[in-house]
């Protein structure tokens, strides 16, 4: 981690144009973009910059949203979805450009792409995604057949994959710290250990109370995610809190290179298990086992190590250097919550599962709305605030995670059995005619997977 300057709390009353509540990635981006336009901005942070999910994620930067784009299309139509996809691409571009323009130290940007690999041989859904994103939405995406996947991820657990070539990964905490420095360089002020206790949003000037001082602002931007609970429980109640667990191994040497030749980011699920990438040359960062109730990360070490061993047996035993957790907020529709709650009170929240590009996107959208009267934020109006069900909703989400994990692993075992049967069938086959008669459904599935668009 790069050096962190001391930032004190707010101790005297202050008047500014904009008050941002929350010094995560969304809040910092809003603050930077407004300060660059000449607005006076104060950022209030209850703890430290990026102490939550903004600094504790795996650092994947890719276009799109946590919600599948086919669901977005069904909800808002193709033209609207195309505009949303373009905004998500702009968020990705903002992160890359900001890192390069500011020369942020320690961010370790790796232009390696992103692979979403399948543990099943059923390719229909991924084929549809490649066509939708590549042809209808104008995105850069390609399909990889099983042979190409296993060239770079040497595991028989994986079949075909979706590849996003312009995705990249970064050190998220160092990016957030670099962004905070850029915020201050632009003229905004960040006050740590300064929780917003209440907001009086009546009138033109909004009044924000903190433990030691009061602040007045023309606009307030709420970028606190699930941590807005005490301040605005009706807003935080629209999010399901999800704790993710991330660990980094000790150096694995040549064993890692023998198992994983892909230098980009990898996800082999839509939800909890698994997301990983290589860091520091020969270490493996691995994330999984998400929960909707907080657990001690140390209690999940054995399960996460078992997940690695199941996917990459040749790695052998791995030792863990560090493990941590972070809590994110998931709206039920899995789309960001971006918009104006009331006159000059703005919300940027709900980035769980796909946060780095969408926080950058949201920051730009809200900054343009405040400074220029731009109404791009209305693109997100269809994704309204919906109560997430409280404790019962969290329990239901946890059960869904367990069911999804069980169902996914069941499908994976079936796929590997079909592949093994296909290979045994090939071995028994004496000639071309027998091959045609005996390969059956497994062979048909192999041809379908190899037919993914973008396959060589």
Tens-digit pLDDT profile for residues 169-219? 999 999 999 999 999 999 999 999 999 999 999 989 999 999 999 999 999
pLDDT tens digit sequence for 59-74: 999 999 999 999 999 9
pLDDT at 229 over 90: no
Q: Which helix (H) or strand (E) holds 14?
A: strand 14-21
Of 44 and 413, the one with more pLDDT: 44
Least confident of 35-44, 110-119, 151-160, 269-278: 269-278
Report CA torsion sign: 440, 442, 448, 450: negative
Structural contact between residues 148 and 160, judged by C-beta atoms closer than 8 angstroms: no
Which positions ≥6 away from 397 have C-beta within 8 Å? 240, 242, 292, 330
**Runs of H (alpha helix) within 186-288:** 233-236, 254-259
The tokens for 230 are 């005490």
Q: Which residue has the tokens 């990016």?
A: 175
Local structure of residue 287 (DSSP, 8 states): E
End-to-end CA distance of the chain: 40
Mean pLDDT of 2-18: 94
Strand partners, 153: 260
Of 405 and 309, the one with more pLDDT: 309
Q: Which helix (H) or strand (E) holds 288?
A: strand 283-291
pLDDT tens digit sequence for 20-38: 999 999 999 999 999 999 9
Distance separating alpha carbons of residues 36 and 268, to the nearest angstrom: 39
Of 314 and 91, the one with more pLDDT: 91
pLDDT at 366 over 50: yes
pLDDT at 428 over 50: yes
When pLDDT is cut at 50, 70 and 90, the band that residue 408 belongs to is confident
In DSSP notation, 184-212 reads HHTT-EEESS----EEE--SSSEEEE-SS
Q: Which CATH number fits domain 7-107+171-238+332-388: 3.30.70.1140, 3.50.50.60, 3.30.360.10, 3.20.20.220?
A: 3.50.50.60
This prediction's pTM:
0.92
Indicate the average pLDDT of the chain. 92
pLDDT at 3 over 90: no
Judging by beta carbons within 10 Å of its beta carbon (0-12, 13-18, 19+), is residue 368 exposed, middle or buried?
A: middle
Distance separating alpha carbons of residues 453 and 142, to the nearest angstrom: 6
pLDDT at 421 over 90: no
Which positions ≥6 away from 435 have C-beta within 8 Å? 426, 429
């Amino acid at each position: 981690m790069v050096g962190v300057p001391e930032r004190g709390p707010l101790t005297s009353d202050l008047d500014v144009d904009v008050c941002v509540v929350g010094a995560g990635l969304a809040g910092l981006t809003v603050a930077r973009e407004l300060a660059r336009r000449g607005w006076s901005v104060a950022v209030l942070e209850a703890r430290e910059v990026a102490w939550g999910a903004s600094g504790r994620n795996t650092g994947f930067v890719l276009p799109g949203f946590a919600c599948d784009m086919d669901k977005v299309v069904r909800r808002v139509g193709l033209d609207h979805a195309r505009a949303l996809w373009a905004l998500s691409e702009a968020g990705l571009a903002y992160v890359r450009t900001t890192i390069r323009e500011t020369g942020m130290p320690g961010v370790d940007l790796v232009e390696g792409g992103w692979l979403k690999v399948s543990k099943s041989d059923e390719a229909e859904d991924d084929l549809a995604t490649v066509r939708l994103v590549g042809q209808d939405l104008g995105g850069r995406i390609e399909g990889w057949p099983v042979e190409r996947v296993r060239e770079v991820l040497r595991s028989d657990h994986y079949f075909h994959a979706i590849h996003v070539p312009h995705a990249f990964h970064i050190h998220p905490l160092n990016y957030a710290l670099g962004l905070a420095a850029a915020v201050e360089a632009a003229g905004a002020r960040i006050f740590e250990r300064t929780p917003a206790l209440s907001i009086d949003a009546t009138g033109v000037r909004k009044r924000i109370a903190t433990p030691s001082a009061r602040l007045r602002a023309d606009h307030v931007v709420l970028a606190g995610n699930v941590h807005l609970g005490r301040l605005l429980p009706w807003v935080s109640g629209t999010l399901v809190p999800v704790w993710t667990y991330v660990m980094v191994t000790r150096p694995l040497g040549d064993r890692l290179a023998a198992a994983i030749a892909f230098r980009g980011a990898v996800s082999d699920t839509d939800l909890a298990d698994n997301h990983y990438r290589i860091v520091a040359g020969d270490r493996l960062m691995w994330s999984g086992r998400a929960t909707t109730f907080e657990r001690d990360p140390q209690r999940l070490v054995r399960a996460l190590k078992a997940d690695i061993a199941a996917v990459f047996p040749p790695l052998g035993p791995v030792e863990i250097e560090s493990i941590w957790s972070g809590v994110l907020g998931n709206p039920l529709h899995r789309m960001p919550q971006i918009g104006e709650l009331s006159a000059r009170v703005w919300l940027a929240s709900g980035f769980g599962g796909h946060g780095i590009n969408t926080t950058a996107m949201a920051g730009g959208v809200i900054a343009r709305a405040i400074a220029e009267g731009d109404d791009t934020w209305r693109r997100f109006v269809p994704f309204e605030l919906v109560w997430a069900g409280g404790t019962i909703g969290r329990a239901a989400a946890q059960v869904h995670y367990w069911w999804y994990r069980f169902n996914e692993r069941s499908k994976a075992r079936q796929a590997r059995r079909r592949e093994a049967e296909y290979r045994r069938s090939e071995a028994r086959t004496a000639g071309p005619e027998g091959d045609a008669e005996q390969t059956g459904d497994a062979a048909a599935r192999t041809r379908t997977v190899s037919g993914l668009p973008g396959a060589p």
